Structure 1
Amino acid sequence: MSAGDRKSPENGGKGQNSPFLSLARGATNVLDWSGRIIVAACLASMFVALLVNVILRYALGSGIPWASEIHAILLPWLVAGGLVIASARGRNIAITLLSDLLKGRALLGLNLIIQAIILIIAISVLWSSQPILKASQFQTLSTLGIKQVWGYSSLVYAFAAMALIAALNLFRALSGEDVANHDPQHASLS
């Protein structure tokens, strides 16, 4: 058995274990953690701003003027972080009927097609969002004075990360790793 033939312990013994596969898994984990950090920071910031605003409204009769505008920046980042987490964990919304029926090379082919489609869609969203990003550089939130491009840049983060994850998953699938988690125990978030 050569070094490239060793089975991957990270994937239940399916697929090869190589430094490049480990690097691909590590990069996906880094993107997963970046999404987690962004989601936690956005949720905490929005909650604290809302809580302080409510307390000030009841205590002083007037709240923080920018408390309603901060969500225009943080909510898109919250959604983007969630997209990256779901993509990194393979938990995107999916219909698994066909993949549940297929085995072996047919399943590998389906996984390759799915990852290629995700990659193409993510890159086309990045490409087509350029005019929106350029226009948002000239829009400013009235109270905060922050350019709206900071909120719209979450689009670049989310879809660039999704494209990178899809490319890494393509590489992993071509190496024989099952990138679609078919274990119902680990696939369900309920």
Structure 2
Amino acid sequence: MAAGDNKSPQTGGKGRLRPFLGPVRGATNLLDWSGRIIVFACLTSMFAALLVNVVLRYAFGAGIAWAYEIHAILLPWLVAGGLVIASARAGNISVTILSDVLSGRRRLVLNFMVQATIFVISVSILWSSQPILKASQFQTLSTLGIKQVWGYSSIAFAFGAMALLAVFGLLRTLSGEDITDRDPALASLS
């Protein structure tokens, strides 16, 4: 066996190990963890703000006014983080009838087309959201005084990450890896 013929554990020992796939998987995991951190921070912050507001309302008859506005910033980030997590784990809602029927090269071609479509859609959303991001720089939340661009910038994070994940999926597909061939027991989140 030659030095470049190391068998790939990801394909059950079939084919060579692609050295560039390690950084691709590492970047995918990094995006997954960034989404997890964002989701955790948003959920924790929103829950804490609501809890403090409820306690203050019952204890003193008046809550904190900004507790109602903080969700305008954090909820879009919560959704964006969840979208990135689902994309990184290939756990988005999908119809897999065609993918389940196809195998071999045909399945790889379908995977390539799906990832290319996701890339085009993500870049299109990034491009078309620019006027919204520019306009939100002039909108301010009344109580917090925070510009709305902080909430809307979650669009750039979510769809920028999805575009990167689609590129990573394209690279994995071009290397011959079947990115839709997942063990159902490992794919379940329940």
TM tier, shorter chain? over 0.9
Q: Which has the higher contact order (CA 8 A, sep 6+)?
A: 1
TM-score (norm 1): 0.95
**Alignment match, 2:146:** 146
**Alignment match, 2:7:** 7
Mapped partners of 1:4, 1:122: distance in 2 = 36
Report deviation, 1:3. 4.8
TM-score (norm 2): 0.95
Equivalent pairs counted in the alignment come to 190
- The 1:14/1:113 distance shift into structure 2, 3 A limit, reads farther
- In the alignment, structure 1 segments of 5+ residues that lack a partner are none
Report deviation, 1:129. 0.3
Partner deviation per Cα, 1:18-47 (whole Å, 9 max, x = no partner): 331100000000000000000000000000
Mapped partners of 1:189, 1:113: distance in 2 = 26
- The 1:127/1:4 distance shift into structure 2, 3 A limit, reads farther
Mapped partners of 1:25, 1:183: distance in 2 = 17
- The 1:69/1:6 distance shift into structure 2, 3 A limit, reads same
Q: Aligned Cα RMSD in Å? A: 1.4
Report deviation, 1:152. 0.2
Partner deviation per Cα, 1:115-164 (whole Å, 9 max, x = no partner): 00000000000000000000000000000000000000000000000000
- In the alignment, structure 2 segments of 5+ residues that lack a partner are none
**Alignment match, 1:53:** 53
Contact 2:18 2:175 in 1 (8 A): no
**Alignment match, 2:169:** 169
Report deviation, 1:51. 0.2
Percent same amino acid at aligned positions? 72
- The 1:139/1:14 distance shift into structure 2, 3 A limit, reads farther
